[in-house]
A and B are shown apart, each in its own frame.
Chain A
Amino acid sequence: MNIAIASGKGGTGKTTLSTNLAMLLAESQKVVLSDLDVEEPNSGLFINADLVHEENKFKMIPEWIEDNCSLCGICQDVCNFHAVIQLGTKIMVFPQLCHSCYACSELCPREVLPMIPKKMGVLKHFNSGNLSFIESRLDIGEEQAVPLIAQTIQYVKEKFTNNIIKIYDAPPGTSCPVIEATKDADFVMLVTEPTPFGLHDLKLAVETMRELKKDFGVVVNRYGIGNDDVLKYCTTEAIPVLAKIPNDRRIAELYSSGKLIYNQHPEVRKHLESIKDHILKINRSSIQ
């Protein structure tokens, strides 16, 4: 079963929830935590586990072979992303713009644009007891997170059986990387804070999840600050609120030094337990 933890707004507590929930689940069963915020992966800062596997991840881009090229211009014409451009007697490829669609390569009559792998990031696999932790990080300067997110999910799917609970820490926002990170999820948890920014971005995230036809619920973090508008909104929209994690400077302090809170803060643990129960209930019904 796949659980994605997402949010419209950044910094609402996605990583805190993902890591602590995964560790709590790992007390009693096998669990996979995967950090899909490949631009800024943070889960690993909180997880102490042994590296068991590491691999470079590649995206395929065309490479021009000058010798046999007739400069017919088809490659440039078929590229919708302006990633292949003919400049005088040269064909230039712009890897950052390429979406790896293969059109230029396969439609080239002389086959002078073979697709070659270009490194875009690194995937690491760690183990600690019941927990398997997979993170990918995008190389600095690479602009497209989506291909790396897709390959990371693929890795998790191949390595672990369906019945293991998998928690995906998604990137912030509502655009393509978030869609990629949540589209295979059986359940999505949207983490928000009870502030005007939190509410505004929650609404966008809810719209996105409805568009994707996802089953989802809300976790309110830093409960106690701001106002009641987030809760009112959830009531009006009939969105289940899975937990209200209190605003507490001590939580922020533990987080700031890279510490987990599930075993340090009884009240937070209580909330995590109820989220866990919710997940296990969904898991049971998905198996049936």
Chain B
Amino acid sequence: MKEIVIISGKGGTGKTSITASYAVLGGKNVVVADCDVDAADMHLLMQPSFARQEDFYSGELAVIDQDKCTQCGHCANVCRYSAIPIIDGEYIVDALSCEGCGYCARICPTEAITNIDLMVGKWYVSTVKTGGVMVHAKLGVGADNSGKLVAKVKNESKQIATATNKEYIIVDGSPGIGCPVVSSISGANFVVLVTEPSVSGLHDLKRVYELVKKFKIKAGCIINKADINNEVSGEIEKFLKIENIAHISSLPYDETFTEAMTEGKTIVEYDKSKLYNSIVESWEKVQLLANK
């Protein structure tokens, strides 16, 4: 079983459209994991069944019992996140600023502070329209710990893939280089970098590849919207050569991506012409590279 992770650094380069196409091409042979838990969109294309739903608890929140509180202010003094303002003479925890470190509860002389476990999201196991399995999640609004929810989605996918002898786990990652991305790529066999030929696309590709290098994972790259700027496309190709990143394919700027999405379909279901062939070809290459 091989784990293939699709990331991009920059948002909006076409990660999810491409991942969902691979999920359809892989059919029953793959488990798909939507690890962009912050803004999970893949379910819009995959018709998931939401067969299994679980709450996800992670982190804590301080709560002050006003009956026990003597307003000594020690809690506010030790809090590094300015999360315990005094409002109308009462110390109140600001839930969005509290990081759940528990320091205040430990030093409160009247034991007025307790930490409660936080439900920060939900995760689901679904069968999708291809008959394959998808593990996905929804992070609560403004929640912390997206990296941990990503790890949960990945672990669950791994267990299912192992138990049912699947060939691949296909992971849709989030933009950026921070904790959810680190969680997405750790343990992966192959990383697909989806970029676009813009100065931002190249800049973000370089940064996210620095991160991939730290994990010593093999990578390949898809240049999406390649003809929007041939010069920058050329620069990206040069970068790929220097870094020894496989150039999987270049896809044209094509509004079929949006049209397919609007119909709730993946590109390979919506379009049977040139774009279809390019994506099928790229999926075959990705499988070869992941097994190398």
Contacts and interface: CB of A to CB of B under 8 A. Distances in A.
Interface of A: 8-12, 15, 37, 39-40, 42, 45-46, 78, 80-81, 99-103, 106-107, 138, 140-145, 171-179, 183, 195-197, 200-201, 204, 207-208, 211-212, 225-227, 249, 252-253, 255-258
Contacts of A39: 175-178, 181, 207
Given A143-B182, A173-B176, 4 more contacts: A10-B39, A107-B107, A173-B175, A197-B16
B228 A252 contact: yes
Nearest to B138: A204
Contact of A42 (B10, B60, B146, B196): B10
A32 to B, nearest CB: 21
B271 interface: no
A80 B102 contact: yes
13 contacts: A9-B39, A39-B177, A99-B99, A101-B80, A138-B178, A141-B214, A144-B178, A173-B175, A183-B96, A195-B258, A196-B261, A200-B39, A225-B258
A103 to B, nearest CB: 4
A212 B141 CA distance: 10
| Residue with the highest number of chain B CB atoms closer than 10 Å, among A40, A81, A142, A253 | A40
Contact of A174 (B60, B142, B262): B142
Contacts of A144: 178-179
Given A78-B102, A174-B141, A197 B41 contact: yes
Interface residues of B, number: 63
A195 B115 CA distance: 41
A179 B228 CA distance: 33
A201 B38 CA distance: 9
Contacts of A145: 176, 178
Contacts of B115: 80
B48 interface: no
Interface stretch (B21-29, B157-165, B197-205, B283-291): B197-205
A80 B197 CA distance: 43
A156 B153 CA distance: 38
Contacts of B207: 39-40, 140
A197 B18 CA distance: 14
A196 B39 CA distance: 12
B141 A255 contact: no
B155 interface: no
A8 to B, nearest CB: 5
